[in-house]
Structure 1
């Protein structure tokens, strides 16, 4: 299979490349090598490479910055995915687009299903929702995967931030009243690869996240517990704080747990075992 990957330098992009099946051919692109907001450039790239599969792992993900850079966020999160979806349809390629839990407002008390009402709290969430809608409007065979709390050994993420801040600090304040499921980017990559090889997969929205719900505070505790077993030298006290005590330009959903039953109907696909993944990457990072 020939795969055109966007966002190749990000967490998911790097993990996807690591897990590419033997014999598959991949063209990795990032913002420097392919401007997905340029329709002509996208069509030219697809026409040149002739992919069987396009995976869009590119996104504007600076949640707080998006509040003041809404036009840029909209270009990358709405226009770009629409261009890729159109090009995939035109070339008869499968298309996978990655979205987020931020399409929801976090007021639920049970895991969100794909059919639940969306209500983004900020610009980032709204542009990601609009991106989903634009993709499916032009290409109803597209697969949209919503995920949450992504971490890996690559890029910037909560795990790496905690490990960095924990060196030299005696305490860290971490939010206790936001809950979700950490998700290892490598497991998302595996789920994508399994899904696209299924002949009976229909286009639409699918949820994929970790297998255990925690707060950011509980996630931080798990990170430091694992890190210490791997010889980590930091020993900060993790203190619980509320969202009100940690104000940010963009509001976060307080509850980001996703129901993954739809994607799990495909037998080999399981939720992200984030605790096992955490042990693996802590060992790499320390």
Structure 2
């Protein structure tokens, strides 16, 4: 596996962010704008289902770093659209990595806990056996393999339970439902760590900054990147409601009216892993950083929603 090479001081090329208009892409543009010359493209310019657009975009920009923030993330819909999920989540990352290798640059890609089956009793390590339960999980695993097979300089960051100010996510769904519904039923037999996109973006920016400025870079490979701690979806939902209530937001539901249910009762089209916990020791050692508890990110985003009145929109 190829390791990253440090760059001479002052020799900084462009950073290309693909999928720049999505939940993660918006935060990456914020963080990476402080690191180097940023070129941000969305699906209107670079559709990850189009090999021609991918190649044309990369060859036009000639970036030193490609950051792939795009992806097909409709987990249940992927069950009936496997070809599209594979094109966006597997073929596109491999093609981006090949273009990065041709330029002698770095490929940064994001993957998911869904590459595991969730049967392990403890947090997953990077080299644990993969066994995706869904089309989405399989497509993301195939994307990891495609990037690794190219043997370009690369980092693959696996994460879980992502949320932020942009796009749709569990935090926003619960916050909005809590204003109009007097009871909620939430899955209690799946465990993980809610992770803000701001954390993913800031860690990425730190690593890319060191790469571009000649510091000793992380070796190529897979790294787990999530907030610390753990909860289940039911506990997560209760925390959201309790935090909003404490902030004076008028709610229809009370924490005790959030009912725990089994995942089987929810009836999703795609199976989810029961254990989404990822061990982040490798990443923390490589960058010499600490990662915050999941509650810190959740509380910060909820405060931004309340203060900015975006929650009410």
Q: What TM-score do the two structures reach when normalised by structure 1?
A: 0.96
Query: Which one is further off, 196-205 or 90-99?
Result: 196-205
Q: What whole-Å deviation, never above 9, does each CA across 1:20-69 have from its counterpart, x for those lacking one?
A: 35362211112111023333322221222121111001110100000000
Q: For residue 265 of structure 2, what is the aligned residue in structure 1?
A: 245
Helix, strand or coil for the counterpart of 2:46? coil
- Does residue 281 of structure 2 align to residue 269 of structure 1? no
User: What count of residue pairs does the alignment treat as equivalent?
Assistant: 286
Q: What whole-Å deviation, never above 9, does each CA across 1:91-117 have from its counterpart, x for those lacking one?
A: 112110000000000001110000000
Query: What is the CA–CA distance in structure 2 between the aligned matches of 1:23 and 1:65, rounded to whole Å?
Result: 36
Contact 1:226 1:278 in 2 (8 A): no
Q: For residue 89 of structure 1, what is the aligned residue in structure 2?
A: 101
Aligned pairs (5 A) from 1:31-42: 31-42=43-54
Aligned pairs (5 A) from 1:1-286: 1=12, 2-22=14-34, 24-196=36-208, 197-198=210-211, 199-236=216-253, 237-286=257-306
Query: What is the CA–CA distance in structure 1 between the aligned matches of 2:159 and 2:179, rounded to whole Å?
Result: 29
Hey, which of these two has a bigger chunk of helix by percent? 2
Query: Which one is further off, 95-104 or 50-59?
Result: 50-59
> How big is the shift at 1:272?
4.2
Return 5+ residue gaps in structure 2 as ranges. Answer: 1-11, 307-313
Question: CA-atom RMSD, angstroms?
Answer: 1.4
Helix, strand or coil for the counterpart of 1:22? coil
Return 5+ residue gaps in structure 1 as ranges. Answer: none
Contact 2:46 2:53 in 1 (8 A): yes
Contact 2:191 2:275 in 1 (8 A): yes
Query: Which one is further off, 34-43 or 186-195?
Result: 34-43
Q: What whole-Å deviation, never above 9, does each CA across 1:226-270 have from its counterpart, x for those lacking one?
A: 112222211412111111211111000000000000000134433
